Amino acid sequence: MTPSCHPFPPPGTPQQRPRTSAASHDWWRSAVVYQVYIRSFADGNGDGIGDIAGLRNRLPYLVELGVDALWLNPWYPSPMADGGYDVSDYRSIDPAFGTLEEAESMMKEAHELGLRVFLDIVPNHTSDQHHWFREALAAGPGSTARDRYVFRTGRGSGGSLPPNNWRSSFGGPAWVRVTEPDGTPGQWYLHLFAPEQPDLNWENAEVRREFEDVLRFWFDIGVDGIRIDVAHGLVKEEGLPDLGHSDIERIGMAADGGHPHWDREGVHAIFRGWRAVANSYEEPRVFVAEAWMGAPDRLARYVRPDELHTAFNFDYLTAPWRADHLREAIDTNLVAFRAVGAPGTWVLSNHDVARHVSRYGRPQPDEPVRALSDFLKDTPFDLELGTRRARAAALLTLALPGGSYIYQGEELGLWEIENLPEELLQDPTWMRSGGTDRGRDGCRVPIPWSGDCPPFGYSPPAATAEPWLPQPTAWKKLTVQAQRGDEKSMLELYRKALHLRRAHPALGDGTMAWDSTAQEEVLSFTREPGFRCVVNLSEHQIALPDHTDVLLSSAPIHGGCLQSDTAVWLTR
């Protein structure tokens, strides 16, 4: 006997807007971009570290998957104090990853395959091994070289105390005292992240010119777009005032631009200059901002017509698997971005947060979770539940108006590796927190390609070096080889969804209309022409609404009912 379904109410009235094709001049408004964390994508030379050679070999996989572009995390020369986000040379390639010639060849091959390429730029700070910073240390107080960074004299007797009470995002104080060229204790430099990442002074005209030149360097080679790390940083309040009594309380003021080093008004002039550089090319280049904001209207200011093109929606990423939170994150972003003519940009996971299979496979909190690694601690994990919800989330995300980003391995259903041996952890958060925060290594484990045991085709067959982080043996069921052709697999779900998304005229950029009478724990919306997405987040099954055909579902549909934690694409 088929269980009864809760009835589905009639649809609402959709609003129409023509779709902008990913192949058009404004391709970025609809594009699906695949994030390549290069160290963990594919190892071409057998040293255990992913590289350009490995990426070149796997470009056909990305084409087969159906994405429009790829975004590479930093591949510049770096001491790797923070996974490459401590850059020592912005115009070259780290030898661990390959050469500049290989990078140019890779980009040419990607373009020939119809893939565009985004790079990561890190403008808030350099490595302490950058030649500018070495010059600053050697030059001494008051020098032109030091003015490129944020150096200050300390407080207290003999300047022995930090200039203010700012804290590093990785834990601990945000200041390091240097030894001057004459051997005496001297000034302090600011590092909002690791001590090996000194903050640049963006009031300095030379710093601004340098980064515009760096953009031109990569755009001239053929890079199509840039992801901007810590786009809400860069500018600091004059006088560098102390934070309030509570860091959390003071950070909350970022929602109105009141924080002394996040979301300062001055960043917008910088990005208007960058947009002018991007627009100077025959095919304008594109930016996407990593900017953690306190309010969607603040984020929308970064994507005004003369600034950046897109920005990640982190409210959506941090929302629990609950209909009310997801709908609010969707609505507030679309309203704010539509007001400035920008598309939404949706993301479920990335290299800085726990994988969403592991987040969704736990009891869901009542509020959004910013400290995602803390959320995993001492919380029971249900892999089957997390995978089921992740499948539904994929269809929800790819049906929303705008573009999307896929973090490598999410199309395989990979989960967060939470039990990496402590001696192998490399994220600076682990050391800076005194061993209380395991950091981000768990989402950066090399992805599995083939075979029944590690390294699962990540390295060449004859390689003797172990992957830089170990893979769990349980991933043998999640390799690309194991999932390819399996209609029930996560990989095939993504592949079908991406190809349908590209083919269906309703999907990509545009608008959506909620079904206003849908049940409380059901997300249902229509897009024109003739498309509907329904996601059942309730604990019971529901009846499908009237439809012509089922395009794709995240789990089997029985008796016309949509099961709990399931999404479906329908034609109307």
User: What are the residue numbers of the active site?
Assistant: 229, 290
For residue 102, the surrounding DSSP H or E stretch is: helix 100-112
Residue 317's contacts (CB-CB under 8 Å, 6 or more residues apart) are: 347, 348, 349, 350, 353, 356
Task: DSSP letter for 6, please.
Answer: B
CA nearest to 527, candidates 483, 481, 572, 492: 572
Residue 312 CA to residue 316 CA, distance in Å, equals 9
The answer to whether residues 28 and 286 touch, using CB atoms and an 8 Å cutoff, is yes
CA 453 to chain centroid, in Å, comes to 29
One DSSP character per residue, 360-409 reads HTSPPPSS--SSHHHHHTT----HHHHHHHHHHHHHHHHHSSSEEEEETT
Asked if omega into 18 is within 30° of 0 (cis), the reply is: no
Task: DSSP letter for 233, please.
Answer: -
Q: Provide φ and ψ at 116, rounded to 5°.
A: -90, 160
- The alpha helices in 171-266, defined as continuous H runs, are 205-221, 247-251
Residue 326 CA to residue 552 CA, distance in Å, equals 21
SS3 527: strand
Question: In this structure, is the dihedral angle defined by the CA atoms of residues 425, 430, 435 and 438, taken in order, positive or negative?
Answer: negative
Residue 491 CA to residue 406 CA, distance in Å, equals 12
Asked if omega into 529 is within 30° of 0 (cis), the reply is: yes
How many Cα atoms occupy the beta-carbon half-sphere of 208 within 13 Å? 15
The answer to whether residues 219 and 193 touch, using CB atoms and an 8 Å cutoff, is no
What would you report as the CA-atom Rg of the chain, rounded to the nearest whole angstrom? 24
CA nearest to 554, candidates 478, 474, 487, 479: 487
Report the first-to-last Cα separation within the chain, whole angstroms.
28
Residue 84's contacts (CB-CB under 8 Å, 6 or more residues apart) are: 39, 73, 74, 75, 76, 78, 94
Residue 118's contacts (CB-CB under 8 Å, 6 or more residues apart) are: 33, 69, 70, 71, 72, 223, 224, 225, 226, 227, 286, 288
Give the type of residue at 131. H
